[in-house]
Chains A and B, each alone.
Chain A
Amino acid sequence: MTSELAKLRELLLGPEQAAIEALRERFDDPKLFAEAVGSVLAEAIRLRASGDPRFKQLLERIVEDVIRNSVRRNPAILTDALFPIISGAVRKSVAAALRGMMESIDQLVEQGFSRRAFKWRIEAFRTGRPFGEIVLLRSTLYRVEQVFLIHRNTGLLLSQRAADSAVHRDADLIAAMMTAIQDFVTDSFGKQEGDDLESFRVGECAVWIESSPNAVLAGVVRGVAPARLRRVFQGALERICSEQAREIEEFDGDTACFRESERHLDSCLLGRLSAAEAPGRVRWPWVLAACVSVLGVILWSVPVLRERSRWSQYLNRLKEEPGIVLTETGRDGGNYYVSGLRDPLAADPAALLRESGIDGEQVRFQWEPYVSLQPGLAAVRRMEVSKTAIEKQAVRFPVNSAKISVAQAETITGLVSHIRDLLESARVVARPVLVEVIGHADFSGGETHNNRLAVQRAGAVFAALIGEGLPASQIRARGAGSSEPLRSGDSELDKEFNRSVSFRVLFPK
């Protein structure tokens, strides 16, 4: 029965049974089961991951764990796997770091303890610029003459700057040529992508090339530049590439927008050349600096110089002055001193000092009096003598009269000779002089009468002097009435003195 039932079941469900059997076999046999799951696994993960972010996170965590475990167990496996990708990058960065280090060591050894380095440190401190930059500026004789910014893909010139503002008119061709040469080198020597030509020489100039993925910076360097310069180029190129990434990427021939990068290019125009290396070229900044420092010294010393020159001018003037003989002059501490002989008639040294603009406090005088025989001074002396003689004279008049008596004629004759001497001496020293003839009257009589009488007396003497041939232009007559009495008493003798004409010598300015 059981066997018949089994037969029937086999008849009815035979194919299904076989299928179920096969399925079970697949589930039970690990190899077959793995095959079955494996065929849909990728698709299953994709579906699941796209619908469920948590699944992705889970996967990530698993992968991370796996990698971590793998590295912990045997780092060589992953290193080997990644080496082809990263070795280039690592090699480049290590090489760059090493090169930088070598340079710094070189420079430290070379310049670390020198006096120059000390000066540069001070300069760096003073100007607030990095020490490296100062070293770069000062240490070697070289100059970056031109800098080109080149679009890497097309080899077209984006921007250029030159040290002496004369940009190269064929820079666009040079830029393209440089790109072509770079391609040529890369092609010919089978270098790896990213290993670019770093420099080449053209005559006495070297062209230093700094590359980034989209742009190239090329500097034409004359002389021997320190390797550090490369870092300046690198920095400039990095700044340009980060500031104008979009413009470089989308460059379509219009270079106007790259004017913005000119300042970065300018920062690459470093260095200086000695006179030997730049023949015939005047380096204006240095000339200017020299001028400025000379000017500075002059400005600083102007007050001193001015005082010195004033002092020597003053001494010369004193030496030329009649009646003054200098025996000793000099400086003593902050002050000047002068000693010598001085005629009392000579000009006043202190007054001359004021005229010359020197502070009188600063000068000490010591004079011995003497009589000078110099012609000028003799004339002055004679003038003084004449003046005294003239002013001693008086022409007397009788009561209520303006007539010169015969007795007074002698006085007039003496006067004329004194006045002649005076005018002659005055002419020698070219000094204007005036003789004043003053008429007086005694206190008796009315004022009006006295005034008239005084004028008449002065006029009479004036006429007598002119009559003797004296020039009218140098003689002046006036009446003083009884207001300027020669004697203030009221005795007959006093009155007699006051009925007169007196004389004064004036030296008008």
Chain B
Amino acid sequence: MNPTVQPSNAIQKKVCMVGAFAVGKTSLVKRFVESIFDERYHTTIGVKIDRKYLTVKGRDVNLVLWDLAGDDELAQLRMSHLRGASGYILVADGSRPATLDKAIELQSRVESTLGSVPFVLALNKSDLVHEWRIGADAAAALERSGWTIFSTSAKVGSGVEHLFETLAAKMLESTEKQVSDAT
């Protein structure tokens, strides 16, 4: 992990990790950021917060990542934690097709809370080639409906940086769009 120096003029963005239990949300964040908080908080407070500085399109961006603890039941995913997020990362486990269905369901529920904000889908555990169960056709169908999908592996690190960078770029675009709409 490269040492991060806080750029004072970085754009701050809150990003939430959303997905079924044990799909690798926490592992993806861990792969990507430096952490300062004890793991303990994660289970007690129900959320783990980390940060990642990125430079996207020449702009410094500070992603403040909220990794929500909890299992499949969205009831336990505190909707208050989603509040104010500029984007979110949906995570599914490529070896468990049910987690993709869960992700699709979660997406619509998150959108009803946050409105239409940028998100990307990570089909995680791409290193488990032999156990991979999600067909290319399912992913293609989602992409046709406008989703941006990455296959990632938190274990070996592939696709992780790209996942976060793409989301950051999408969020900046959406900010710029809002600004130009307003003017």
Contact = CB atoms under 8 A, between A and B. Distances in A.
Interface of A: 151, 153-157, 169-170, 172-173, 176-177, 180-181, 183-184, 186-187, 252-256
Contact of A184 (B6, B45, B84): B45
Given A154-B84, A173-B36, A252-B178, A180 B11 contact: no
Contacts of B62: 172
Interface string B150-174: 0000000000000000000001000
Contact of A187 (B36, B37, B78): B78
Interface stretch (B47-55, B89-97, B139-147): B47-55
B130 to A, nearest CB: 38
Given A184-B46, A186-B80, A252-B175, A173 B37 contact: yes
A181 B11 contact: no
Interface in B41-81: 41, 45-47, 49-51, 61-62, 64, 66, 78, 80-81
A469 to B, nearest CB: 93
Nearest to A170: B36
A155 B85 CA distance: 9
A169 B5 CA distance: 9
Contacts of A253: 11-13, 61, 86, 171, 175
A254 B36 contact: no
Contacts of B45: 177, 180-181, 184
Contact of A169 (B6, B12, B41, B66): B6
A391 to B, nearest CB: 94
A153 B83 contact: yes
Interface of B is mostly: mixed
B183 interface: no
Contact of A154 (B46, B85, B175): B85
A4 B175 CA distance: 89
B84 A180 contact: no
Contacts of A173: 36-37, 49-51, 64
A172 B12 contact: yes
B84 A151 contact: yes
A256 B14 contact: no
Contacts of A177: 37, 41, 45, 49
B180 interface: no
B66 to A, nearest CB: 7
From A151, A154, A252, A253, residue with most partner B Cβ within 10 Å: A253
Contacts of B9: 255-256
A155 B6 contact: no
A254 B10 CA distance: 7
A252 B47 CA distance: 22
A155 B14 contact: yes
Given A156-B13, A183-B81, 20 more contacts: A155-B84, A170-B36, A172-B12, A173-B36, A173-B51, A173-B64, A176-B14, A176-B49, A176-B66, A180-B45, A180-B81, A183-B80, A183-B83, A184-B47, A184-B78, A187-B78, A253-B171, A254-B12, A255-B10, A255-B12
A173 B51 CA distance: 7
A153 B83 CA distance: 6
B51 to A, nearest CB: 5
Contacts of B84: 151, 153-156
B47 A172 contact: no
Given A172-B51, A177-B41, A180-B45, A187 B12 contact: no
Nearest to B182: A250
A118 to B, nearest CB: 46
B132 to A, nearest CB: 34
A203 to B, nearest CB: 13
Nearest to B85: A154
Contacts of A254: 11-12
Nearest to B45: A184
A369 B13 CA distance: 99
B7 to A, nearest CB: 11
A507 B10 CA distance: 88
A183 B77 CA distance: 12
Given A156-B64, A172-B12, A180 B83 contact: no
Nearest to A188: B46
